[in-house]
Amino acid sequence: MTDPAGEAPGVVAFWQDLGLPGLIDVHTHFMPENVLAKVWAFFEGGQFGQPWPIYYRRPQDERLALLRAFGVRRFTGLLYPHKPAMAAWLNSWSADFAAANPEVLHSATFFPEPDAGQYVAAALAGGASIFKAHVQVGAYDPADELLTPVWGQLAEAGVPVVVHCGSGPTPGPFTGPERFAAVLARHPRLTAIIAHLGAPEYTEFFDLAGKYRNVHLDTTMTFTDFFTQIRPDRAFPASELPRLADLGDRILLGTDFPNIPYPYLHQLEALAGTGLGRPWLRAVCHDNAARLLGL
Query: For 117-148, b where at least 16 C-beta lie within 10 A, e where not — what string?
Result: bebbebbbeeebbbbbbbbbebebbbbbebbb
Whether 70 and 6 have beta carbons less than 8 Å apart is answered as no
What confidence score (pLDDT) does residue 243 get?
Answer: 97
Helix (H) or strand (E) holding 130: strand 130-134
Per-residue pLDDT tens for 251-295? 999 999 999 999 999 999 999 999 999 999 999 999 999 999 999
**How many domains does the chain divide into?**
1
Whether 215 and 254 have beta carbons less than 8 Å apart is answered as no
Going 239 to 185 to 220 to 160, the CA torsion angle's sign is: positive
Q: Supply φ then ψ for residue 164, to 5 degrees.
A: -90, 95
Largest Cα–Cα separation, the chain: 49
Whether 80 and 132 have beta carbons less than 8 Å apart is answered as yes
- Omega before residue 200 within 30° of 0, cis: yes
Whether 5 and 66 have beta carbons less than 8 Å apart is answered as yes
Rounded to whole angstroms, how far apart are CA atoms 139 and 64?
A: 30
Structural domain range at position 96: 4-293
What confidence score (pLDDT) does residue 2 get?
Answer: 56
The SS3 assignment for 78 reads strand
For the chain, list residues with pLDDT below 70: 1-3, 47-48
Going 150 to 152 to 157 to 163, the CA torsion angle's sign is: positive
Instruction: Give the domain CATH number at 101.
Output: 3.20.20.140
